[in-house]
Amino acid sequence: MLPAMASPDLSRRVDAHGEDLRAISDTVIEIHDDVTEIKEDVTGLKNDVTEIKTVLTEHGQTLTQHGQMLAQHGQMLAQHGQMLAEHGQTLAQHGMKLDELGSKLDAVLALLAPGQEH
């Protein structure tokens, strides 16, 4: 057994240590709760990142498809441009032929005009 003098001092010290242990225990519980909450937040953020990656992948695929369609439309536009140039040439040829026929028609009409000698 401890001497009687030391007993009240020891009791106070034990009580003080008990209070310290309760305070430390309360702090550890608060820290545990905070860590649990942070883990939940991190899990939520990871889920958000996963969803964002999925959306980005889908958008990338859509952009690739749009790029392919744009390339196809560019090819079609080039073909249409060539056809337009060919039609322009044909139109110019037809215009020259019309001019030629118009001159011949003028000559025939001049021959057929009254008062003209043949």
60 and 21, same structural domain?
Answer: yes
Q: How many helices (H) and strands (E) does the chain have?
A: 1, 0
pLDDT tens per residue across span 10-39: 888 888 899 999 999 999 999 999 999 999
Q: Which two tokens stand for residue 24?
A: 């430390």
Instruction: Identify whether 89 is part of a domain.
Output: yes
86 and 56, same structural domain?
Answer: no
What's the domain range around 88?
Answer: 76-110
End-to-end CA gap in the chain: 161
Count the helix, strand and coil residues of the chain and give each as a percent rounded to the nearest 5: 90, 0, 10
- In this predicted structure, what is the pLDDT of residue 15? 87
Is residue 74 within 8 Å of 66, Cβ to Cβ? no
Instruction: Identify whether 6 is part of a domain.
Output: no
- In this predicted structure, what is the pLDDT of residue 114? 78
90 and 60, same structural domain?
Answer: no
Using pLDDT thresholds of 50, 70 and 90, give the confidence band for residue 1: very low
- In this predicted structure, what is the pLDDT of residue 3? 52
Is residue 108 within 8 Å of 101, Cβ to Cβ? no
115: left (phi over 0), alpha (psi -120 to 50) or beta: left
Instruction: Identify whether 116 is part of a domain.
Output: no
The tally of domains found in the chain comes to 2
Q: The pTM is what?
A: 0.55
